[in-house]
A and B are shown apart, each in its own frame.
Chain A
Amino acid sequence: MPANPTPTTTAASEDASQSDLIRFDHISKQFGNIIAVEDISLSVKRGEILALVGDNGAGKSTLMNILAGVYPQTSGELYYDGEPVSFSNPGAARSFGIETIYQDLALMDDLDIATNIHLQQFPKRFSLGPIEMIDWQEANEATREVLEFLNLDLDPGLEVEWLSGGERQLVAIARSILSDPDMIILDEPTSALSVAGTDLVKETMLQLKEDGHTQIIVTHNFEEVLNVADRIAVLYQGELVEIVDPQTVDRESLSNLITTGQRTP
């Protein structure tokens, strides 16, 4: 439990507004006796980059997984564009325009970029019953377009095992934006990257924002999101303790919030 949950949680709770794309309304999640997330109310505004920051066990991944349809909340309501929704699986969340890029990126090293990008949904030439024939020309063209949008000079036929960490992350982003989703959830997008790779991914996030994509970045390292996030939601031991403005927040107090649930040690 946070050391001083009452005032900060109240401060962090938000009302729904017209521009909210997602709203978590008193969401809780229990795994057996363990409370992973407790009574979180939080809105994500359309077009913003919201960072969910917290230490290990803070509940950020649980909250992300509820939104991604990996598992349902134990209690509370999830709203999408003002309507209550419930995602029984990741495919259901995806059908609402919510794409998730997990930390492991879910890329197949043996397969080329075009295949990795289209695995969820290949463009079809025709179908013979359950057998769908892939239109590779269209798949490659669509891959080139999305890579071009991300300023990636890569051959769609190149196997993913050739790519650097930053490029792999961008290929995963390319896959997620192929269906032009409203929201992209990025789980620890820069945790395993070099400085150059991190800059590359941050630039891409800002580019996606310009293009109108709402983003949630889940991370334990607030330094990585200070210059890209519009707001930072700090979670501590399953509760939302505060939402801060990255432009004005003091780094030391933010660090304390993450590690102790309080602004001052």
Chain B
Amino acid sequence: MSLTTLHKTFWDNITASSTRTNAILKSLDHMVWLILGLLIVGIFVLIPQVFRNVTSLQIILHGSVALGFLVLAESLCLLSGHFDLSIGSIAGFSAIFTAMAFSGSHWGVISHPVVGVLLILTIGTIIGTLNGLSVAKLGVNPFLQTLAFLIIFRGAMLTLTTSPIYQLPAAYFAIGNTPAIAIGLLIFSYLAFAYILRYTSFGMGVYALGSNEKSARSVGINTDRLVILVYAVSGFLAAIAGLILSGYAQSVSVNTGDGMVFPAFAAAVIGGISLFGGRGKITGALGGVLLLGLVQSALNISGVGASEVQMINGLVLLFAILLYNSKSKLREKVLQGSV
């Protein structure tokens, strides 16, 4: 049998079914938009006041910006086959450290808002880099490393101060407090990362790392450097979330960034980012952010109490995990040709 005939036989056997199954798999990857659509319809019917005007939509989006940056940080880690439990603590610690550097009743060593922005971003990036160094160079398990940093930096916040800090420059707060700036920054960041992940060798390296780290190393990718870079960028994005949270609340406290890591996970997973790396789109993660923002807003408008909201957040996380499991199983079946 000639080489061409052999290839043709091979390919003919799978081509017919592959188009249909490929379409099923693609639609699974974009499931978030269908869920979001259904949610919007459901809210329109049950709680129409959520969408009463443009301002209410703006409020929902504005309230989701900080979470959006944490989701972006988490998505990057997940895509690379890693994860970061410390993003909430990084956001909170970098915010409180910078606030104390500003505040006259604390250290009062800086006054210019630009210096403050640079400081908060530097702190976040340094903590992220330390996460990366520990995971890549010392071989510490990412779960344990970032869990340790979650606890360390949450504890460090309490050590630094227990009282909220309000007196910070208006221009420093403006980034998180001005809806147009905050929402614009979020959308720009998602578009930039969507582009970077698709069109740069760094982005493809992240996917390769998440898909198969050993293979990525075999083909010559410097996986250690990439892991460090991913965690550094994750810390940087978490610090932006800290900056947004500071401005949004017009204050920084020990609660800044607290309890946000699991919603960030949920949004990323609902958005189609694989828990095991190598698969998913950043734009899908943005869909996850919008979905969680809508749920949060609907709960607030419905007068659901804070403790119930916490419980519902847990249910959303469970939903995300169940959704991921169902997708994985369906994907397996589709690839085996039984669907």
Contact = CB atoms under 8 A, between A and B. Distances in A.
Nearest to B79: A110
Nearest to B212: A108
Given A108-B208, A115-B207, A119-B208, A199 B1 contact: yes
Given A108-B216, A119-B219, A162-B18, A200 B10 contact: yes
Contacts of B3: 151, 200, 203-204, 207
A152 B11 CA distance: 9
A134 B212 contact: no
A133 B201 CA distance: 7
Given A90-B220, A200-B7, A107 B14 contact: no
B333 to A, nearest CB: 13
B207 A108 contact: yes
A106 B217 CA distance: 9
B278 A132 contact: no
Contacts of B196: 131
Interface of A: 90-91, 94, 102, 104-111, 115, 119-120, 122, 124, 130-134, 136, 151-154, 158, 161-162, 164, 166-167, 175, 196-197, 199-200, 203-204, 207
B53 interface: no
B82 to A, nearest CB: 15
B210 interface: yes
Contact of A109 (B6, B14, B211, B214): B211
Contacts of B9: 196
Given A115-B207, A197-B10, 14 more contacts: A108-B212, A108-B216, A111-B278, A115-B208, A119-B205, A132-B201, A133-B199, A134-B199, A134-B204, A153-B8, A164-B14, A200-B6, A200-B7, A207-B3
Nearest to A202: B3
8 contacts: A106-B215, A106-B218, A108-B212, A108-B215, A110-B279, A111-B211, A111-B278, A158-B18
Contacts of A197: 10
Contact of B200 (A90, A115, A119, A131): A131
A153 B7 contact: yes
Given A108-B211, A110-B207, A161-B335, A119 B6 contact: no
Q: Which 8 A-B pairs have the closest CB atoms?
A: A108-B211, A110-B278, A106-B218, A106-B215, A110-B211, A203-B3, A132-B201, A110-B279
B338 to A, nearest CB: 15
Interface string B296-339: 00000000000000000000000000000000000000010000
A123 B297 CA distance: 46
Contact of B4 (A90, A151, A199): A151
A196 to B, nearest CB: 6
B221 interface: yes
A91 B204 contact: no
Contacts of B11: 153-154
Nearest to B12: A153
A122 B10 contact: no
B51 interface: no
B207 A91 contact: no
Nearest to A117: B219
B262 interface: no
